[in-house]
Amino acid sequence: MTSARPASLPAARLLDTVLDRTVAPGYTRLGLAVRRRLPTWPADPAAGALAGRVAAVTGASSGLGIATAEQLARLGAEVRLVVRDTEKGEGVRRELAERVPGATFVVDRCDVGDLDDVRRAATDLAAALGDRPLDVLVHNAGAMPPERTTSAQGHELSMAVHVLGPVLLTDLLRERLAASERGARVVLVTSGGMYAQKLRADDPEFEQGDYSPTTAYARSKRAQVELAPVLAERWRPASVAVMHPGWADTPGVAESLPGFHKLTGRVLRDSDEGADTTTWLAATEPAPPTGLLWHDRRPRPTSLLPTTRTTDPDRARLWAWVRGATGL
């Protein structure tokens, strides 16, 4: 038995790669079920891995955000639910407190797409933490408006919510993240849909051509992935990861992609399955390599086609736009 396990590792790695490259069924709950049975599946975080730690989760009032908050709390973390609607957030807090007895959940208000509100929220959160560090920051908030919409500062909303707001919020909390004794973890939740789009550093605000909500969403997620190495360097010593959850059955998917949801509903991952890798990245020891894209607990390529590969000049151009838009 002990000699058979190492011999099976190459086959397991090959199967994992095939599942990843073929997308379906790799992104479904079937792909996750297969991977969990492979000898290459990493161990779960230890019980109590986040005891005494503080974690903040944006978009924590539905779907993957709620699942992530609950999983982090079950590992011992105090979880701050960063939400736009505090009334809804309080309802979630009460539900989570019943499901995870003894855990601490706190609601913080922040409209991640509004950079002025991000600055206010960062100040309030830092004050609430006092001398305590912020050990985990999960950027889960998402948006897919049906038509081109702009933020309070005039930025295309998908880019504002998925890129500008998360970058600014993290940058403003760098001192609290750097204070983490074990090394803070920053996780940005992206989407496998980004594989269909190349980086549009020449048009980050989607001002050219006919606007498509799914394309805008995927472009902003591509931007998250391509900025990961830059952000990892900027936010050291925190570990930075971008992960995509596969195809998960969330309220956002059901509302924004009803046709896709109807077609794939039976094989979509539930929220707990979709949040699994986020929680693993936040809690596993030692810290995972920084600046990479992850799916099902393994680093993945950022492009599957030559036409979507990003050049260093394009990445630098996008970063220059982000810095200008956020005032970093």
Give the model confidence (pLDDT) of 29-55 as tens digits: 999 999 999 999 999 999 999 999 999
Q: pLDDT per residue over 197-220, tens digit each?
A: 999 999 999 999 999 999 999 999
Q: What is the mean pLDDT of residues 254-269?
A: 70
Q: How confident is the model at residue 6 (pLDDT cuts 50, 70, 90)?
A: very low
Does pLDDT of 63 surpass 60? yes
pLDDT for residue 2 is more than 50: no
Residue 209: partners with Cβ closer than 8 Å, 6 or more residues away: none
- Dump pLDDT digits (tens) for 66-113: 999 999 999 999 999 999 999 999 999 999 999 999 999 999 999 999
Domain ranges of the chain: 1-41, 50-326
Is-contact 60 274, C-beta < 8 A?
A: no
What pLDDT score was predicted for residue 22?
87
Tell me the pTM: 0.94
What residues are annotated to the active site? 217
Check whether the bond before 10 is cis (ω within 30° of 0): no
Angle at 17 between CA 296 and CA 280, to 5 degrees: 15
**Which CATH architecture group holds 50-326?**
3-Layer(aba) Sandwich (3.40)
Binned at pLDDT 50, 70 and 90, residue 234 comes out as: very high
Structure confidence at residue 266 (pLDDT)? 78
Q: With 90 as the cut, is the pLDDT of residue 227 above it?
A: yes
Tell me how far apart the alpha carbons of residues 23 and 171 are, in angstroms, rounded to a whole number: 33
